[in-house]
Amino acid sequence: MMLINIKYVIHFVNNAENCRFCRSLGNIMYYILMLNVSTMAGNPFMNFFWQSLVELPGYFVGNYLSEKLGRRWMNSGTFLIMALAHIPIILMINQPNLSWVITCMIVLIKLGVTVSGYAGYLQAMETFPTCVRQTGCALGSLAASIVGTLGPYIILLGNTTDKRYAYGITALTTLLGAITTSFLPETMNQKLPETLADAAVFGKDQKFWALYQKSNIPFDEAGIPLKTKEKPDMSS
């Protein structure tokens, strides 16, 4: 039986925990934005409508960017854009005449939450090996739901003290997400792990600052992916 070096085991565990952590950050952002519509300026029904409407194009944007830029930098860049969008919110939150700017920035952040959520699910499915993919994704959803229960308390903090506190926390959350997602391995055009041994070394040879990772999938002269050699049927 092949023994896996302990550092590769740690590498796989770090990837798994990083996936769960990043999905948890996106989940708590989702709940905070949706539950905070009643405290925003303007019509609460329209605030809820715009935040809900922007989810549909968010999935198409996430699908397009994940195929063009890759999963890792697209997810990290989306979190960074969300963090930057908090700057005008924190500066203008107490100016009623600029409430439309706040609404636009919040809708932009909600779009980013949808895009990053799409990338998070995609990265989780492609990072976990086949043998534990369902379990790993389920545990990620469970962890994200548990962390999401903190959302109402963050909103309560902003309502009872200063609204800027709540948005300051979400700004730090998205900034943390931009950092942590950058350490996940790129899965686009990569041979995905099928066993725990594959997952233990998946992404170890990738360069951190590379925008596009070199594909490790073998292709023939026509550019068609080569099929793995089928195992002989031992039943006969």
Question: CA 236 to CA 233: how far, in whole Å?
Answer: 7
Residue 163 pLDDT exceeds 70 = yes
Q: What is the pLDDT of residues 4-49, one digit of tens each?
A: 566 666 666 788 888 889 899 999 999 999 988 888 887 888 989 9
Of the pLDDT bands very low, low, confident and very high (cuts 50, 70, 90), residue 131 is: confident
pTM attached to this predicted model: 0.84
User: What integer pLDDT is reported at residue 9 of this predicted model?
Assistant: 61
Of the pLDDT bands very low, low, confident and very high (cuts 50, 70, 90), residue 56 is: very high
Of the pLDDT bands very low, low, confident and very high (cuts 50, 70, 90), residue 78 is: very high
Question: CA 81 to CA 112: how far, in whole Å?
Answer: 8
Residue 50 pLDDT exceeds 80 = yes
Residue 234 pLDDT exceeds 60 = no
Picking from 171, 165, 148, 172, the residue whose alpha carbon sits closest to that of residue 35 is: 148
User: What integer pLDDT is reported at residue 55 of this predicted model?
Assistant: 93
Question: CA 95 to CA 199: how far, in whole Å?
Answer: 51
Q: What is the pLDDT of residues 191-208, one digit of tens each?
A: 888 888 888 888 888 888
Report the 10 Å Cβ neighbour count for 106: 23
Measure CA 229 to chain center. Answer: 34
| Over residues 51-64, mean pLDDT | 94
Domains defined for the chain, CATH in brackets: 10-181 (1.20.1250.20)
| Over residues 155-182, mean pLDDT | 92
User: What integer pLDDT is reported at residue 226 of this predicted model?
Assistant: 58
Q: What is the pLDDT of residues 110-122, one digit of tens each?
A: 999 999 999 999 9
Question: CA 215 to CA 70: how far, in whole Å?
Answer: 12
User: What integer pLDDT is reported at residue 41 of this predicted model?
Assistant: 80
